[in-house]
Amino acid sequence: MNAHDTVRPIRWTPQGLQLLDQRELPTEVRYLDCKTSAEVAEAIREMVVRGAPAIGIAAAYGVVLAAQEALAEDATRWRELLEPKITRLAESRPTAVNLFWALERMRQRLATAGRDPVAALLEEARAIQEEDLAANLCMGELGAGLLQEPCAVLTHCNTGALATAGYGTALGVIRSGYASGKITHVYAGETRPWLQGARLTAWELRQDAIPVTLIADAAAPLLMRRGEVRWVIVGADRIAANGDVANKIGTYGLAIAARAHGVKFMVVAPTSTIDWQLASGDDIPIESRSHDELLTVQGVRLAAEGVAAWNPVFDVTPAEYIDAIVTEHGVVHGPRPDTMARLREKISAQGG
Protein backbone atom coordinates (compact mmCIF):
# COMPACT_ATOMS: atom_id res chain seq x y z
CA MET A 1 0.00 0.00 0.00
CA ASN A 2 1.08 3.59 -0.61
CA ALA A 3 0.22 6.73 1.33
CA HIS A 4 -3.04 7.15 -0.61
CA ASP A 5 -4.18 3.51 -0.35
CA THR A 6 -4.86 2.21 3.15
CA VAL A 7 -8.45 0.86 3.19
CA ARG A 8 -9.40 -2.83 2.72
CA PRO A 9 -13.06 -3.90 3.19
CA ILE A 10 -12.91 -7.72 2.77
CA ARG A 11 -10.88 -10.23 4.79
CA TRP A 12 -10.85 -14.02 4.71
CA THR A 13 -9.90 -15.76 7.95
CA PRO A 14 -9.96 -19.40 9.08
CA GLN A 15 -13.22 -18.55 10.87
CA GLY A 16 -14.94 -17.15 7.79
CA LEU A 17 -15.44 -13.89 5.95
CA GLN A 18 -14.99 -10.48 7.57
CA LEU A 19 -16.70 -7.50 5.93
CA LEU A 20 -16.17 -3.89 6.91
CA ASP A 21 -19.71 -2.85 7.87
CA GLN A 22 -20.29 0.16 5.65
CA ARG A 23 -23.60 0.95 7.33
CA GLU A 24 -21.67 2.07 10.41
CA LEU A 25 -19.20 4.39 8.66
CA PRO A 26 -17.98 7.01 9.29
CA THR A 27 -18.80 6.93 13.00
CA GLU A 28 -17.57 3.38 13.66
CA VAL A 29 -15.08 1.09 11.93
CA ARG A 30 -16.37 -2.43 12.57
CA TYR A 31 -15.93 -5.72 10.70
CA LEU A 32 -18.90 -8.09 10.56
CA ASP A 33 -18.12 -11.82 10.82
CA CYS A 34 -19.95 -13.96 8.25
CA LYS A 35 -19.61 -17.65 9.08
CA THR A 36 -22.29 -18.99 6.71
CA SER A 37 -23.26 -18.39 3.10
CA ALA A 38 -26.66 -17.16 4.25
CA GLU A 39 -24.95 -14.48 6.33
CA VAL A 40 -22.94 -13.39 3.30
CA ALA A 41 -26.12 -13.15 1.19
CA GLU A 42 -27.79 -11.11 3.92
CA ALA A 43 -24.74 -8.84 4.20
CA ILE A 44 -24.90 -8.14 0.46
CA ARG A 45 -28.65 -7.55 0.55
CA GLU A 46 -28.46 -5.20 3.55
CA MET A 47 -25.49 -3.27 2.12
CA VAL A 48 -22.94 -4.25 4.74
CA VAL A 49 -20.82 -4.68 1.62
CA ARG A 50 -21.67 -2.69 -1.53
CA GLY A 51 -20.10 -1.69 -4.79
CA ALA A 52 -20.21 -4.08 -7.74
CA PRO A 53 -16.67 -5.54 -7.52
CA ALA A 54 -16.84 -5.96 -3.74
CA ILE A 55 -20.21 -7.69 -4.02
CA GLY A 56 -18.71 -10.17 -6.48
CA ILE A 57 -15.72 -10.88 -4.23
CA ALA A 58 -17.92 -11.34 -1.16
CA ALA A 59 -20.21 -13.70 -3.10
CA ALA A 60 -17.20 -15.76 -4.24
CA TYR A 61 -16.18 -16.28 -0.62
CA GLY A 62 -19.84 -17.02 0.12
CA VAL A 63 -19.58 -19.98 -2.27
CA VAL A 64 -16.61 -21.27 -0.27
CA LEU A 65 -18.73 -21.19 2.89
CA ALA A 66 -21.64 -22.78 1.02
CA ALA A 67 -19.43 -25.69 -0.06
CA GLN A 68 -18.25 -26.19 3.51
CA GLU A 69 -21.86 -26.28 4.69
CA ALA A 70 -23.03 -28.65 1.94
CA LEU A 71 -20.22 -31.11 2.63
CA ALA A 72 -20.99 -31.03 6.36
CA GLU A 73 -24.70 -31.65 5.68
CA ASP A 74 -24.22 -34.65 3.38
CA ALA A 75 -20.87 -35.63 1.87
CA THR A 76 -22.55 -37.70 -0.87
CA ARG A 77 -25.20 -35.13 -1.94
CA TRP A 78 -23.18 -31.97 -1.33
CA ARG A 79 -23.27 -30.78 -4.96
CA GLU A 80 -27.07 -30.99 -4.98
CA LEU A 81 -27.24 -29.13 -1.65
CA LEU A 82 -24.82 -26.47 -2.82
CA GLU A 83 -26.88 -25.11 -5.71
CA PRO A 84 -29.72 -23.53 -3.65
CA LYS A 85 -27.09 -21.77 -1.53
CA ILE A 86 -25.49 -20.29 -4.64
CA THR A 87 -28.94 -19.26 -5.89
CA ARG A 88 -29.55 -17.42 -2.62
CA LEU A 89 -26.31 -15.50 -3.14
CA ALA A 90 -27.35 -14.66 -6.72
CA GLU A 91 -30.67 -13.25 -5.53
CA SER A 92 -29.09 -10.87 -3.00
CA ARG A 93 -28.72 -7.93 -5.47
CA PRO A 94 -30.14 -7.93 -9.03
CA THR A 95 -28.23 -5.15 -10.84
CA ALA A 96 -24.49 -5.65 -10.15
CA VAL A 97 -23.32 -7.96 -12.93
CA ASN A 98 -20.08 -8.70 -11.05
CA LEU A 99 -22.14 -10.78 -8.65
CA PHE A 100 -23.28 -13.17 -11.39
CA TRP A 101 -19.87 -13.11 -13.08
CA ALA A 102 -18.15 -14.17 -9.85
CA LEU A 103 -20.70 -16.91 -9.12
CA GLU A 104 -20.35 -18.31 -12.65
CA ARG A 105 -16.57 -18.30 -12.29
CA MET A 106 -16.89 -20.21 -9.02
CA ARG A 107 -19.21 -22.74 -10.70
CA GLN A 108 -16.64 -23.28 -13.45
CA ARG A 109 -13.91 -23.88 -10.88
CA LEU A 110 -16.17 -26.27 -9.04
CA ALA A 111 -16.47 -28.40 -12.18
CA THR A 112 -12.74 -29.15 -12.03
CA ALA A 113 -12.30 -28.95 -8.26
CA GLY A 114 -11.15 -32.53 -7.72
CA ARG A 115 -11.06 -34.19 -4.30
CA ASP A 116 -10.82 -30.98 -2.23
CA PRO A 117 -13.51 -28.62 -3.57
CA VAL A 118 -13.30 -26.18 -0.64
CA ALA A 119 -9.59 -25.61 -1.17
CA ALA A 120 -10.12 -25.15 -4.91
CA LEU A 121 -12.96 -22.71 -4.39
CA LEU A 122 -10.99 -20.74 -1.80
CA GLU A 123 -8.09 -20.48 -4.22
CA GLU A 124 -10.47 -19.13 -6.89
CA ALA A 125 -12.08 -16.59 -4.54
CA ARG A 126 -8.65 -15.31 -3.53
CA ALA A 127 -7.70 -15.06 -7.20
CA ILE A 128 -10.81 -12.98 -7.91
CA GLN A 129 -9.91 -10.64 -5.06
CA GLU A 130 -6.26 -10.32 -6.09
CA GLU A 131 -7.11 -9.80 -9.75
CA ASP A 132 -9.56 -7.05 -8.86
CA LEU A 133 -6.91 -5.17 -6.90
CA ALA A 134 -4.44 -5.52 -9.77
CA ALA A 135 -7.09 -4.32 -12.24
CA ASN A 136 -7.82 -1.29 -10.09
CA LEU A 137 -4.15 -0.32 -9.95
CA CYS A 138 -3.98 -0.62 -13.76
CA MET A 139 -7.16 1.40 -14.31
CA GLY A 140 -5.91 4.05 -11.93
CA GLU A 141 -2.88 4.69 -14.12
CA LEU A 142 -4.84 4.53 -17.39
CA GLY A 143 -7.52 6.92 -16.15
CA ALA A 144 -5.05 9.37 -14.65
CA GLY A 145 -3.31 9.40 -18.03
CA LEU A 146 -6.42 10.99 -19.57
CA LEU A 147 -6.08 14.09 -17.38
CA GLN A 148 -4.15 16.56 -19.46
CA GLU A 149 -3.49 19.19 -16.80
CA PRO A 150 -3.96 19.60 -13.03
CA CYS A 151 -7.63 20.05 -12.15
CA ALA A 152 -10.36 19.39 -9.64
CA VAL A 153 -12.80 16.53 -10.28
CA LEU A 154 -16.27 15.47 -9.17
CA THR A 155 -17.23 11.93 -8.18
CA HIS A 156 -20.51 10.27 -7.20
CA CYS A 157 -21.42 7.50 -4.77
CA ASN A 158 -18.44 5.43 -3.53
CA THR A 159 -16.15 3.74 -6.03
CA GLY A 160 -13.06 3.31 -3.90
CA ALA A 161 -11.41 0.65 -1.80
CA LEU A 162 -14.70 0.19 0.05
CA ALA A 163 -16.43 -0.89 -3.17
CA THR A 164 -13.66 -3.19 -4.43
CA ALA A 165 -10.80 -5.39 -3.28
CA GLY A 166 -8.86 -2.18 -2.71
CA TYR A 167 -7.68 1.08 -4.35
CA GLY A 168 -10.95 1.49 -6.20
CA THR A 169 -12.23 2.11 -9.72
CA ALA A 170 -13.10 5.81 -10.06
CA LEU A 171 -11.36 6.54 -6.77
CA GLY A 172 -8.42 4.49 -8.03
CA VAL A 173 -8.07 6.99 -10.88
CA ILE A 174 -8.41 9.79 -8.33
CA ARG A 175 -5.73 8.20 -6.13
CA SER A 176 -3.34 7.85 -9.06
CA GLY A 177 -4.21 11.31 -10.35
CA TYR A 178 -3.63 12.93 -7.00
CA ALA A 179 -0.34 11.08 -6.46
CA SER A 180 0.90 12.28 -9.88
CA GLY A 181 -0.21 15.87 -9.41
CA LYS A 182 -2.97 15.67 -12.04
CA ILE A 183 -5.81 16.04 -9.51
CA THR A 184 -5.74 18.96 -7.09
CA HIS A 185 -9.05 18.51 -5.29
CA VAL A 186 -12.04 16.18 -5.18
CA TYR A 187 -15.70 17.17 -4.89
CA ALA A 188 -17.95 14.35 -3.67
CA GLY A 189 -21.70 14.36 -4.16
CA GLU A 190 -23.51 13.26 -1.00
CA THR A 191 -25.45 10.55 -2.95
CA ARG A 192 -28.90 10.36 -1.48
CA PRO A 193 -30.57 8.38 -0.06
CA TRP A 194 -27.81 6.14 1.39
CA LEU A 195 -25.29 9.01 1.45
CA GLN A 196 -22.41 6.89 0.17
CA GLY A 197 -20.58 10.05 -0.88
CA ALA A 198 -21.00 11.71 2.50
CA ARG A 199 -20.46 8.66 4.68
CA LEU A 200 -18.02 6.60 2.63
CA THR A 201 -16.18 8.53 -0.10
CA ALA A 202 -15.44 11.56 2.07
CA TRP A 203 -14.29 9.26 4.90
CA GLU A 204 -12.14 7.14 2.59
CA LEU A 205 -10.39 10.12 0.98
CA ARG A 206 -9.72 11.62 4.39
CA GLN A 207 -8.10 8.36 5.51
CA ASP A 208 -5.66 8.73 2.61
CA ALA A 209 -5.08 12.49 2.99
CA ILE A 210 -6.68 13.44 -0.34
CA PRO A 211 -8.44 16.85 -0.14
CA VAL A 212 -12.21 16.48 -0.50
CA THR A 213 -15.21 18.81 -0.34
CA LEU A 214 -18.70 17.39 0.11
CA ILE A 215 -21.57 18.91 -1.90
CA ALA A 216 -25.31 18.34 -2.09
CA ASP A 217 -26.14 16.31 -5.19
CA ALA A 218 -28.21 19.20 -6.55
CA ALA A 219 -25.22 21.56 -6.35
CA ALA A 220 -23.22 19.72 -9.03
CA PRO A 221 -24.51 21.67 -12.08
CA LEU A 222 -23.66 24.99 -10.40
CA LEU A 223 -20.18 23.69 -9.59
CA MET A 224 -19.73 22.86 -13.27
CA ARG A 225 -21.12 26.21 -14.45
CA ARG A 226 -18.58 28.00 -12.25
CA GLY A 227 -15.78 26.04 -13.89
CA GLU A 228 -14.66 24.40 -10.64
CA VAL A 229 -14.24 20.89 -12.09
CA ARG A 230 -12.92 19.58 -15.42
CA TRP A 231 -13.90 15.91 -15.12
CA VAL A 232 -16.68 13.82 -13.59
CA ILE A 233 -15.25 10.40 -12.69
CA VAL A 234 -17.67 7.61 -11.70
CA GLY A 235 -17.86 3.83 -11.51
CA ALA A 236 -20.44 1.41 -12.91
CA ASP A 237 -22.60 -1.46 -11.75
CA ARG A 238 -23.33 -2.78 -15.23
CA ILE A 239 -22.25 -1.76 -18.73
CA ALA A 240 -24.17 -2.87 -21.82
CA ALA A 241 -22.49 -3.97 -25.04
CA ASN A 242 -23.15 -0.58 -26.67
CA GLY A 243 -21.48 1.35 -23.83
CA ASP A 244 -24.60 2.41 -21.90
CA VAL A 245 -23.79 2.44 -18.18
CA ALA A 246 -25.93 1.64 -15.15
CA ASN A 247 -24.63 3.31 -12.00
CA LYS A 248 -25.88 4.85 -8.78
CA ILE A 249 -29.00 6.97 -9.16
CA GLY A 250 -27.99 10.51 -10.07
CA THR A 251 -25.22 9.54 -12.48
CA TYR A 252 -27.41 10.18 -15.54
CA GLY A 253 -28.17 13.72 -14.37
CA LEU A 254 -24.48 14.40 -13.80
CA ALA A 255 -23.68 13.23 -17.33
CA ILE A 256 -26.29 15.57 -18.84
CA ALA A 257 -25.02 18.50 -16.76
CA ALA A 258 -21.42 17.70 -17.67
CA ARG A 259 -22.22 17.71 -21.40
CA ALA A 260 -24.06 21.03 -21.07
CA HIS A 261 -21.06 22.65 -19.35
CA GLY A 262 -18.19 21.18 -21.36
CA VAL A 263 -17.03 18.91 -18.52
CA LYS A 264 -15.55 15.54 -19.47
CA PHE A 265 -17.24 12.36 -18.20
CA MET A 266 -15.23 9.22 -17.36
CA VAL A 267 -16.55 5.79 -16.29
CA VAL A 268 -14.08 3.44 -14.63
CA ALA A 269 -14.94 -0.25 -14.26
CA PRO A 270 -13.34 -3.70 -14.70
CA THR A 271 -14.40 -5.70 -17.74
CA SER A 272 -16.30 -8.06 -15.42
CA THR A 273 -18.84 -5.22 -15.17
CA ILE A 274 -19.60 -5.41 -18.90
CA ASP A 275 -22.62 -7.55 -19.74
CA TRP A 276 -21.99 -8.45 -23.36
CA GLN A 277 -25.38 -10.20 -23.55
CA LEU A 278 -27.26 -6.90 -23.19
CA ALA A 279 -27.47 -4.86 -26.38
CA SER A 280 -28.24 -1.59 -24.61
CA GLY A 281 -28.99 -0.02 -21.27
CA ASP A 282 -32.72 -0.47 -21.92
CA ASP A 283 -32.21 -4.14 -21.02
CA ILE A 284 -30.50 -3.51 -17.66
CA PRO A 285 -32.70 -4.40 -14.67
CA ILE A 286 -33.01 -1.47 -12.27
CA GLU A 287 -33.30 -2.34 -8.60
CA SER A 288 -35.77 -0.46 -6.40
CA ARG A 289 -35.46 -0.46 -2.65
CA SER A 290 -37.64 0.35 0.36
CA HIS A 291 -39.51 3.65 0.45
CA ASP A 292 -38.22 4.08 4.00
CA GLU A 293 -34.74 4.84 2.67
CA LEU A 294 -36.13 8.10 1.28
CA LEU A 295 -38.74 8.84 3.91
CA THR A 296 -36.44 8.36 6.93
CA VAL A 297 -32.84 8.86 7.97
CA GLN A 298 -31.50 6.48 10.64
CA GLY A 299 -35.06 5.77 11.76
CA VAL A 300 -36.16 9.42 11.97
CA ARG A 301 -39.03 10.23 9.60
CA LEU A 302 -38.48 13.22 7.31
CA ALA A 303 -41.75 13.22 5.35
CA ALA A 304 -45.33 13.39 6.55
CA GLU A 305 -47.16 10.15 7.25
CA GLY A 306 -48.94 8.83 4.19
CA VAL A 307 -46.45 10.31 1.71
CA ALA A 308 -45.31 7.80 -0.92
CA ALA A 309 -41.80 7.55 -2.36
CA TRP A 310 -40.08 6.21 -5.48
CA ASN A 311 -36.63 4.79 -4.78
CA PRO A 312 -34.78 3.42 -7.84
CA VAL A 313 -31.21 2.63 -6.82
CA PHE A 314 -29.62 3.01 -10.27
CA ASP A 315 -30.10 4.90 -13.51
CA VAL A 316 -28.69 4.36 -17.00
CA THR A 317 -26.40 6.87 -18.69
CA PRO A 318 -26.48 6.56 -22.51
CA ALA A 319 -23.07 6.03 -24.09
CA GLU A 320 -23.38 9.28 -26.05
CA TYR A 321 -22.84 11.25 -22.83
CA ILE A 322 -19.66 9.36 -21.88
CA ASP A 323 -16.23 10.50 -23.06
CA ALA A 324 -14.27 7.44 -21.93
CA ILE A 325 -14.77 4.04 -20.32
CA VAL A 326 -11.59 2.94 -18.55
CA THR A 327 -11.02 -0.80 -18.05
CA GLU A 328 -8.03 -2.92 -17.11
CA HIS A 329 -7.80 -3.94 -20.77
CA GLY A 330 -7.65 -0.40 -22.06
CA VAL A 331 -9.66 2.78 -22.60
CA VAL A 332 -12.71 3.05 -24.84
CA HIS A 333 -12.88 6.61 -26.20
CA GLY A 334 -16.36 7.60 -27.32
CA PRO A 335 -18.10 4.34 -26.36
CA ARG A 336 -20.54 3.00 -28.96
CA PRO A 337 -21.18 -0.48 -30.37
CA ASP A 338 -18.12 -0.55 -32.65
CA THR A 339 -15.63 0.81 -30.10
CA MET A 340 -16.98 -1.57 -27.46
CA ALA A 341 -16.69 -4.45 -29.94
CA ARG A 342 -13.01 -3.61 -30.45
CA LEU A 343 -12.52 -3.80 -26.68
CA ARG A 344 -14.15 -7.24 -26.66
CA GLU A 345 -11.83 -8.40 -29.42
CA LYS A 346 -8.84 -7.12 -27.46
CA ILE A 347 -9.97 -8.97 -24.33
CA SER A 348 -10.36 -12.20 -26.33
CA ALA A 349 -6.94 -11.75 -27.90
CA GLN A 350 -5.41 -11.31 -24.44
CA GLY A 351 -7.13 -14.44 -23.17
CA GLY A 352 -9.53 -12.54 -20.92
Q: What pLDDT does residue 352 have? A: 63
Exposed e or buried b for every residue in 185-202, given b needs 16+ CB within 10 A? bbbbbbbbbbbbbbbbbb
Hey, what CATH topology would domain 138-349 get? Rossmann fold (3.40.50)
In the chain, residues under CATH classification 3.40.50.10470 are 138-349
CATH class label, 10-135: mainly alpha
Closest CA to 259 of 313, 327, 317, 196: 317
Q: Is the peptide bond before 318 cis (omega within 30 degrees of 0)?
A: no
Active-site residues: which are they?
A: 237
The per-residue pLDDT of the chain, averaged, comes to 95
What phi, psi does 138 have (nearest 5°)?
A: -65, -50
Q: What pLDDT does residue 335 have? A: 98
Task: Give pLDDT tens digits for 75-130.
Answer: 999 999 999 999 999 999 877 788 999 999 999 999 988 889 999 999 999 999 99
Q: How far is Cα 101 from Cα 84, in angstroms, rounded to an integer? A: 17
